[in-house]
Amino acid sequence: MGIADNIEKIKKELPSDVKLVAVSKFHPVESIEVALAAGQAVFGENRPQEFEKKALALSGRGIEWHFIGHLQTNKLKMVLPYADLVQSVDSLHLLEAIDKWGKDNGKVIPVLLEMHVAAEETKQGLYEEEILDILFRADSFKNVAFRGLMGMATNTDDEGVVRADFARIKDFFDYVRDLFPEYSGFTELSIGMSGDWRIALESGATIVRIGTAIFGERS
């Protein structure tokens, strides 16, 4: 099956209120063009240089760009001018740098806070208490708009572990929403990738990030 068929098949299974982010990293602009022609308008990239190059090449095409990878503070200028959502704010240091860039450039940056739940220490992310600390003083980040949480499950074939990871993120997401009802825009839960997006849907995902199941293996 081709890219267009893959998108159609996935969208048939997605509820209308769940956003599909087509993860186009390592795939050429031509593949994004095919997905665009098939009606897909939201794309995710995880490398700043590649993100900037594609955003410029496809400027004016109505694409909603999400940055989903680890973002170093010295690469902000490659991402923030083009990103409609930065899904992967994984440290207070990065958040402060994004807020400063936004102030300096007259822009408010929509972000998701990346929550660390996976068993692997290599995974990036904030712990629950760090997220709470940030949100208790959210008003001090004038150039950031907090839109929700993002997370990745442990990389395992054990479905029970994946379900437990997603449940932990969802439970904390619900807790935060109850604790801070004034943050009406805090509505997005980005969980689920090519191997586990169906489980993510059962766990309350509002955004799924799918690459391989759309574009095939990375070249």
SS (H, E, C) the chain: CCHHHHHHHHHHHCCCCCEEEEECCCCCHHHHHHHHHCCCCEEEECCHHHHHHHHHHCCCCCCEEEECCCCCHHHHHHHCCCCCEEEEECCHHHHHHHHHHHHHHCCCEEEEEEECCCCCCCCCCECHHHHHHHHHCHHHCCCEEEEEEEECCCCCCCHHHHHHHHHHHHHHHHHHHHHCCCCCCCCEEECCCCCCHHHHHHCCCCEEEECHHHHCCCC
Whether the pLDDT of residue 171 is over 80: the answer is yes
pLDDT band at 122 (very low <50, low <70, confident <90, very high): low
Terminal CA-CA length for the chain: 17
pLDDT band at 64 (very low <50, low <70, confident <90, very high): very high
pLDDT score at 124: 84
Tell me which residue range forms the domain holding 54.
Answer: 3-215
CATH number at 191 reads 3.20.20.10
Stretch 75-101: mean pLDDT: 98
CA angle (18, 7, 187) in 5-degree steps: 15
CB of 217 closer than 8 Å to CB of 29: no
More confident site: 1 or 72:
72
pLDDT at 119 over 80: no
Q: Is the pTM of this model over 0.85?
A: yes
Number of domains in the chain: 1
**Average pLDDT value over all residues in the chain:** 96
- Judge whether residue 1 has pLDDT over 90: no
Query: b or e along 151-174 (b: 16 or more beta carbons within 10 Å of the residue's beta carbon)?
Result: bbbeeeeeeeebbebbebbbebbe
Q: pLDDT tens for residues 16-47?
A: 999 999 999 999 999 999 999 999 999 999 99
105 confidence band (pLDDT: 50, 70, 90): very high
Q: Can you give the pLDDT at residue 118?
A: 72
Question: Mean pLDDT, to the nearest integer, of 121-137?
Answer: 91
CA angle (112, 150, 198) in 5-degree steps: 140
* Alpha-carbon span 142 to 95, nearest angstrom: 11
CA distance 170 to 189: 8
pLDDT over 90 at 153, yes or no: yes
Q: Which residues contact 60 (CB under 8 A, 6 or more apart)?
A: none
Q: Could you tell me which of 91, 35, 24 has the C-alpha nearest to residue 62? A: 35
> Is residue 20 a contact partner of residue 42, using CB atoms and an 8 Å limit?
yes
Average pLDDT over residues 68-75: 97
The mean pLDDT of 46-67, rounded to a whole number, is: 98
* Structure-token pair, residue 116: 């660390």
